[in-house]
Amino acid sequence: MERRQVLKTAGILATGGVTGLAGCSSSGNGDGGGEPTTTETQETAGGSGDSNTVMMVTDGSEYYFDPIGLFIESGETVTFEIQSGSHSATAYKEGTSSASVTRIPESAETFNSETLSEQGATFEHTFETTGTYDYFCIPHKTLGMVGRIVVGEPGGPAEGSMPPDGDVPESQTIVDQGSVSYSSFSG
């Protein structure tokens, strides 16, 4: 879906501006990868309750993905949903937004929701390539808002180290547990 259509769907362009994004801008270069090849949607309806839903949360001075670690099989779709605040789900792929390193499998499609600001807004990405995917929130990356998804089995450039902007659960822990909540990881 084109960026203009995504913003229009969210009602941002309907008001003639982007006032809903105040304070949450990106200094990145866009997605760096041409037309997206993933399924992208932005809605204002409530949550799906799906086990493959990652909530994007602002809680006081904490900004996080919940779960922070998720295991899925190849071909499954993950829905990233705004619970509170303004956030993005952006792959660590050099050249995508403010990513300076690549931490997704070599042949994997990148993803970047751009910043979503409406409670209940969603972004979906279908993960086809097996391996470990680290991702971040554009406006809160420097505050440690990072997450990890393992597809099928651990592998790729994210293995053996943590993202440059924060900590995530080890891939094998994610595989063993299926899902690692933010509270159990950070507590």
Contact 122, 87 (CB under 8 A): no
- Buried residues in 43-72 as b, exposed as e (16+ CB within 10 A): beeeeeeeebbbbbbbeeeebbbbbbbbbb
Lowest mean pLDDT among 26-40, 84-98, 130-144: 26-40
Rounded CA gap, 178 and 138, in Å?
26
Confidence bin at 177 (pLDDT 50/70/90): very high
Q: How high is the pLDDT of residue 118? A: 96
Q: How high is the pLDDT of residue 42? A: 38
Side-chain half-sphere CA neighbours of 17 within 13 A: 4
Q: Is it the case that residue 26 has pLDDT exceeding 50?
A: no
Q: How high is the pLDDT of residue 187? A: 82
Confidence bin at 51 (pLDDT 50/70/90): confident
Rounded CA gap, 184 and 166, in Å?
16
Would you list which residues are annotated within the binding site? Answer: 137, 140, 145
> How many other β-carbons are positioned within 10 Å of the β-carbon of residue 106?
10
Would you list which residues are annotated within the binding site for Cu cation? Answer: 137, 140, 145
Rounded CA gap, 183 and 67, in Å?
9
**How many angstroms separate the most distant Cα atoms in the chain?**
48
Q: How high is the pLDDT of residue 106? A: 95
Answer with the residue of higher pLDDT: 1 or 58.
58
Confidence bin at 23 (pLDDT 50/70/90): very low
Q: What is the pTM of this model?
A: 0.75
Helix or strand run (H / E) with residue 7: helix 3-9
Q: What fold does the segment set 3-16+36-186 form as a domain?
A: Immunoglobulin-like (2.60.40)
